[in-house]
């Protein structure tokens, strides 16, 4: 098992990419902490799946628009006393053309997608600094690299995550902490649930591999970054889009 005796914290871990990462990490021996906001029932259901894999589990409510995760740290200290892996996965997208944007949408998107990553990282890294070991994995997006035609603040927030990744990689390396990010293209999650069949077909056609990613495609890359296989990989953004942006 590649993550035996590790403790992993996955934000937004009750559904989508986060859930796939949580289940894969648990199957590789990690105890799991997730945060959730709107997916309480899913978080409760995930507990059964994680425990069936023989792993410990903790679900923490976290609203990235309102708090800085200090309460969550208290819960983690009571149950685990350490965190080896942090996956900053929680995020939102509110599709709006630039002309339709308002300040509330701008601020909410950056608060959840960017400030939320900062807050969770700031709260969790003391565990890693103390133990002189840690893996930080940030989920960004190809939208942060090539832009997004459906949400400017989403693209800006994801570009900010990649910049944060590079900065943290430099600052935290002295503590044996690596920081990397994953930039997915379209993934079959709730983000795509309102897309028409026509648009989904177009997304498939625009991807050289001819399909939209499954959440587990991203989870397997996260496992690489979380495991010892990536011990000398630091400050990188790995694009996982089936070749979409190089077509």
Average confidence (pLDDT) over 116-139: 98
Instruction: Assess whether pLDDT exceeds 80 at residue 194.
Output: no
Q: What is the pLDDT of residues 165-190, one digit of tens each?
A: 999 999 999 999 999 999 999 999 98
Average pLDDT over residues 3-10: 98
Please, how many CA atoms are within 13 Å of residue 183, restricted to the half-sphere of its CB? Answer: 25
Question: At residue 41, does pLDDT exceed 90?
Answer: yes
**In this predicted structure, what is the pLDDT of residue 160?**
99
Q: Which residues pair with 183 in a beta bridge?
A: 239
pLDDT interval class at 246 (50, 70, 90): confident
Please state, in angstroms and rounded to a whole number, the distance separating the CA atoms of residues 237 and 225. 11
CA atoms within 13 A on the CB side of 227: 18
* Domains of the chain, start order: 7-246 (3.40.50.720)
At 197 the pLDDT is: 86
124 closest CA partner among 110, 112, 138, 109: 138
pLDDT (0 to 100) of residue 191: 77
Confidence of residue 192 (pLDDT cuts 50, 70, 90): confident
| Range 91-98 average pLDDT | 93
The contacts of residue 183 (CB under 8 Å, 6+ apart) are: 140, 141, 142, 144, 145, 158, 162, 237, 238, 239, 240, 241
User: What does residue 216 show for φ and ψ, rounded to 5 degrees?
Assistant: -70, -25
- Given this model, what pLDDT does residue 190 score? 82
Closest CA to 154 of 93, 97, 75, 225: 93
What mean pLDDT do residues 95-124 have? 96
| The predicted structure's pLDDT at residue 247 | 54
Q: Among 24-33, 60-69, 207-216, which is the least confidently predicted range?
A: 60-69
The set of catalytic residues is 154
Cα separations (Å) of 27 from 3, 57, 143? 9, 13, 30
136-159, pLDDT tens digit by residue?
Answer: 999 999 999 999 988 999 999 999
Q: How confident is the model at residue 97 (pLDDT cuts 50, 70, 90)?
A: very high
Dist CA 207 CA 243 (whole Å): 6
């Amino acid at each position: 098992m590649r993550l035996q005796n590790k403790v992993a914290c996955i934000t937004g871990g009750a559904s989508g990419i986060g859930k796939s990462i949580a289940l894969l990490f648990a199957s590789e021996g990690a105890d799991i902490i997730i945060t959730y906001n709107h997916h309480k029932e899913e978080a409760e259901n995930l507990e059964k799946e994680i425990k069936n894999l023989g792993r410990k589990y903790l679900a923490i409510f976290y609203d990235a628009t309102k708090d800085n995760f200090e309460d969550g740290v208290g819960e983690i200290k009571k149950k685990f006393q350490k965190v080896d892996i942090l996956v900053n996965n929680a995020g939102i997208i509110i599709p709006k053309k630039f002309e339709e944007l308002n300040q509330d949408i701008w601020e909410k998107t950056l608060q959840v997608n960017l400030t939320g990553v900062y807050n969770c990282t700031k709260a969790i890294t003391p565990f890693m600094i103390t133990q002189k070991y840690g893996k930080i994995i940030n989920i960004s997006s190809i939208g942060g690299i090539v832009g997004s035609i459906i949400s400017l603040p989403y693209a800006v927030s994801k570009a900010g995550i990649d910049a944060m990744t590079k900065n943290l990689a430099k600052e935290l390396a002295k503590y044996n902490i690596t920081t990397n990010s994953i930039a997915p293209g379209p993934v079959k999650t709730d983000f795509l649930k309102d897309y028409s069949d026509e648009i989904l077909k177009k997304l498939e056609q625009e991807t050289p591999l001819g399909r939209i990613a499954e959440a587990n495609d991203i989870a397997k890359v996260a496992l690489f970054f979380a495991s010892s296989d990536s011990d000398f990989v630091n400050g990188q953004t790995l694009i996982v889009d089936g070749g979409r942006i190089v077509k």
